[in-house]
Amino acid sequence: MTEHTKQYDAIIIGSGFGGLYALHHLRDQMGLRVRAFDGAGGVGGTWWYNRYPGARVDAPSSPFYAYTFSQELVDEWEWTETQTPGPSVLAYLEHVAERFDLLEDIQFETWVTDARYDEAGQRWTIETDTGETASAQFLVCAVGALFVANMPDYPGINEFAGECFHTGRWPHEKVSFAGKRVGVIGTGSSGIQSIPEIAKEAEHVTVFQRTPQYALPARNRPLTRDEISRYREDWDDLRTSMRRRGGWPFKTNRRRASDHTPEERHAVYEELWEQGGIHLSINSYVGVLADEDLNGEVSEFVRSKIRSIVRDPETARKLMPDYHFATKRLILDNGYFETYNRDNVSLVDLREDPIEAFTPSSVRTKHGEHPIDMLVLATGFDAVSGSMLKLNPKGRGGLSLAQKWQARFDNYLGTTIAGFPNLFMIHGPGAPGVFFTMPLGGELTTAWIADCIRHVREKDLGAVEATEEAEASWDREINEIADRTLYPRTNSWYMGANIPGKPRQFLGHLRGSHYFDRLSEVADAGYEGFAFEPARESGASD
Ligand code: NA7
């Protein structure tokens, strides 16, 4: 720390959904001195970076994938489609930043290169790539669950001479595919959303698929005036339902598969398929994500749909997913499978024809060579833990997070880490994150963090820190929930399986509503599982 070190009560890293709300809440509702830092050139986090063609919210979106805290905001923002396009989400976040005067307290194009806890001062000091230092009692990491791009390291890939873009780092300028042969690696949400758009323009698209996916029709459509008015009028109730029903306001069906004949069940699946969105997953029968036989039946139903859409049987065969339905992030598509009926799209199944190397102008697989002018990497992210590890804060005794998280992403409540006092995560490992509506999840998490900070300040304490015992029991708690489902049996980014060498651990809390109840219980029990330090003379309240 130098005399030029700026002093705050709280520093926030990131200005996506989580960081923006944290700034608003801590500054405007608590009156703290707060500064936010973001390496990007503007607000938006994930939505600032993921500008690939076709990007949309891949969950029931408008108007639920949005902030819930302000009725005025709900009343004034005009959502237009049921599945919000990426540029609209970004425009919304820009509007929020202006409307709540947040921009003046965010420093853009400023990477936080180091964050260190000073035990004597009970404060965090950060350094930035602009040569600044700043210090605060509390560090709030809203660094994004899907931020650190996963870059494949195939032999020769760096020698590829054509244009190359990762979907999570898409250029701000329009990318033209016209007259180009485009190779796309990856068929998660980003690949499945972008491939139909790229195919409309490109001369040829070759899709390199490692894992075929269950994608459900999004059935995107314009929102009606009536729907919007109803949502606005009922907003309080909707918000309460979202909080109680796992992030979404929909009532889920509690019917049992055993009460129906196979024919009746098939009719239910058909109806939910036609309805589109995630209904087949949340609204068919109780236990789809836990009962292997039931899940197998739904899996087979989706496979039959893929077969009926894709005309070439060989391509359809390659597109057959074989993992448990919905245990990887369920994808909502807009004409993905239909795209394979175009003459200018071909599919390479990497399980039988793996990539061996890149040349400056082609991808060489075991059975052939695929000339390409452009490479699109839709290869996803080092999800959830990756962005915290990129920040790599140094806690008590100089211990770095990379050292602490070598074998396991230990944390308590998905928000705090033993050995890292006064540091909070939003959507960290062990939190519901993508298993709950993220904007509302961020609001609820921030409210809890704010209460915890208030507790520390009102009691003249200097530091709050999770205990290792609490971390161990939290780990058991979230794994017990996950182990009752089929999720841990699938190689997904939820399990860290997409990144070579990443520890295998379920990275989320599957019962979002229950999770927020647990946060309240912990606070009500006097912050059970936390140790507090009295404030030292020299430090905390500077
Ligand atoms: P995802 O869902 O992680 O998808 C990445 C895709 O890229 C997936 O099909 C991967 O196959 C594939 N992949 C990753 N690495 C490679 C290599 N080395 N070779 C071939 N294929 C590879 O990322 P998205 O960006 O699509 O979506 C991320 C989240 O954003 C999504 O879940 C939503 O919540 C929004 P795999 O399945 O791992 O075998």
For ligand 1, atom 2, the nearest C-alpha belongs to 188
Distance between Cα 104 and ligand 1 center (Å): 36
How high is the pLDDT of residue 333? 96
How high is the pLDDT of residue 3? 77
Mutation to probe ligand 1, out of 47, 50, 157, 210 (largest number of atoms < 8 A from CB):
210
How high is the pLDDT of residue 249? 87
- Widest pairwise Cα distance in the chain: 75
CB–CB of 536/509 below 8 Å? Answer: no
CA dist., res. 309 & res. 196, Å (int): 14
CA-to-CA separations, 63 to 85, 91, 241, in angstroms, rounded: 12, 14, 14
Query: Which stretches of the chain score pLDDT less than 70?
Result: 1, 537-542
CA-to-CA separations, 354 to 152, 206, 289, 363, in angstroms, rounded: 13, 14, 31, 10
- Where residue 384 falls (left for φ over 0; alpha for ψ -120 to 50; beta otherwise) is left
DSSP category for residue 174 = P
How high is the pLDDT of residue 162? 98
CA dist., res. 347 & res. 316, Å (int): 10
The count of other CB atoms within 10 Å of the CB of residue 210 is: 16
Mutation to probe ligand 1, out of 52, 189, 206, 363 (largest number of atoms < 8 A from CB):
189
How high is the pLDDT of residue 250? 81
Predicted TM-score (pTM) of this structure: 0.97
How high is the pLDDT of residue 10? 98
How high is the pLDDT of residue 252? 82
Query: What percent of the chain is modeled with pLDDT above 70?
Result: 99
Query: What percent of the chain is modeled with pLDDT above 90?
Result: 95
How high is the pLDDT of residue 541? 45
Question: What one-letter code names the amino acid at 34?
Answer: V
Identify the residues whose C-beta falls under 6 Å from ligand 1. 58, 146, 150, 152, 167-168, 185-191, 210-211, 329, 350, 378-381, 434, 493, 498
Pairing of strands 123-128, 112-118: antiparallel
Tell me: the pLDDT tens digits for 261-277? 999 999 999 999 999 99
Which of 353, 314, 325 lies closest to 209, judged by CA? 353
Q: What is the 3-state secondary structure (H, E, C) of 203-244?
A: CEEEEEECCCCCEEECCCCECCHHHHHHHHHCHHHHHHHHHH
Residue with tokens 């600044």: 132
Residue with tokens 């997953």: 281
